[in-house]
Amino acid sequence: MSQRIPDWVLERHLVGDALPAGFTEADLAADPSVPERLEKLKASDAEILERHPPRVVAAQVRARAEERGRRARRPMMVLLPVALAGVAAVVIALPRQPDVLTKGLEPHLEVFRKDEPARPLVSGGVGHPGDIIQLRVVSAGAKFGMVVAVDGEGAPVQVGALTVPDALELDATGQFERFILVTSDAPFEAADVLAAARRLGHDPVAKLELPAGLKQSSFVLLKKP
Amino acid sequence: MGLDVESLYRRYGPQVLRRCRFLLRDEAQAVDAMHDVFVELLRYQDRLRSVAPSSLLHQIATHVCLNKLRGSRRKPEDPEDERVMQIAGSEDLERRTFAQRALEAVFGRVPANSRDIAVLHFVDGMTLEQTAAEVGMSVSGVRKRLRGLAEVLKGLEVEP
């Protein structure tokens, strides 16, 4: 057998771990490219360890791990309590957006990390406890709306009604955080939306059972420590 | 008893950083990802399986980097990079089930993430059998996952 040994096998050989099933030392010996590739890897090892010294990296890793541990122990904190307080039963009028900008759009949320406002997050992507998250409502012509936040524990919902981007700090509760934008062209009962949200339980993709005329758009962040 | 991060890094760090460089194509991001890999190793140290650390770190690094790549809009540098970006940007089975905690999968608690599996198979060139051995799943389980992903991604074919 003289097939080219894959890089991942060579890496394993280099650190002295057992070779994966299906590969033997004889296979490595039969591949003429192995000696040169190993030398390159060794040179790369030296370069990396010199540029990123083990003692320094170990300290950085421990510091990051401790910081994340502290964040994970903190409860969810709403950074703008004044903006969010008391809005559980309020449906607010959404700001008008020019028709030329909203034509063809459906109402939805855009979600960002506060420190990366130019990079919208993707629903289904990952958020870390401690991340500061900003929501932007794209009303797409809808006149009224509210945002419901549900964590992965299926716990009572934390609710906000947003007119401008607010900021939330992700906590470590549950496996995900879900934001649901509910919109309508007419005023509606927030209590109906809240009741529907409480029925969602642990399901991160189920839709709210809403009265006719209401639209919903969901955004989910998986929580990763 | 805590892990000896310094010793682990000295032995495996270069391999991890090369992996992150390969997947992310950005030095600063790769170094950041490498730190994350060892942080995750610390976090899950009590659940470490008795597998080769290099295999474990390879999987963690793959997962961490794919997460960083999700939503990235940079242009692929070559066909291999394009495939990685394609896989990273895909909405795979986990979007529907959300049963995964992919890093926990790496530690054997739940089935592995389809995107992570796809990179091992389609990018690293592992066979179905090798991929299955790496992630601790059956060959048929790996094949099923890959087919699910291949349905939504062009150019990926899973051997029968």
Predicted complex ipTM: 0.81
> So where are chain B's domains?
5-150
Burial of B33: CB neighbours in 10 Å, binned 0-12, 13-18, 19+: buried
Cα distances (Å, whole numbers) of residue A100 to A95, A104, A110, B106, B118: 15, 9, 19, 48, 41
Residue pLDDT, tens place only, B76-125? 888 888 888 878 877 544 443 332 344 444 444 445 678 888 889 988 98
**Pairing between β-strand A108-113 and β-strand A158-160 as defined by DSSP bridges:** unpaired
Half-sphere exposure (Cβ direction) of A52: Cα atoms closer than 13 Å: 26
Q: Kindly identify which residue of chain A lies nearest to residue B42, measuring between CA atoms.
A: A65
Residue pairs between chains A and B whose CB atoms are closer than 8 Å = 111
| Best residue of A8, A44, A67, A221 to probe chain B, by most B CBs closer than 10 Å | A8
A60 touches chain B (CB under 8 A): yes
Q: Does the predicted TM-score (pTM) go above 0.80?
A: no
pLDDT at A212 over 90: no
A53 touches chain B (CB under 8 A): no
Class assignment of domain B5-150? mainly alpha
- H-helix or E-strand containing A50? helix A34-51
Distance between CA B63 and CA B66 in Å, rounded?
5
- H-helix or E-strand containing A220? strand A215-223
In sequence order, what are the residues at sequence separation of 6 or more whose Cβ sits closer than 8 angstroms to the Cβ of residue A129? Answer: A68, A71, A72, A74, A170, A171, A172, A223, A225
Is there a contact between B125 and A6 if contact means CB atoms under 8 Å apart? yes
A63 touches chain B (CB under 8 A): no
B135 touches chain A (CB under 8 A): no
Handedness of CA A110, B93, B117, A170 (dihedral sign): positive
**Bridge partner residues of A144 (DSSP):** A93, A184
Q: For residue A158, what are its two tokens?
A: 């934390």
Residue pLDDT, tens place only, A82-140? 222 222 333 444 445 444 444 456 788 878 777 776 677 888 888 887 777 777 777 77
B26 touches chain A (CB under 8 A): no
Burial of A16: CB neighbours in 10 Å, binned 0-12, 13-18, 19+: exposed
Is there a contact between A125 and B71 if contact means CB atoms under 8 Å apart? yes
Q: What is the mean pLDDT of chain A?
A: 73
State the Cα angle at A97 between A92 and A103, rounded to 5°. 120
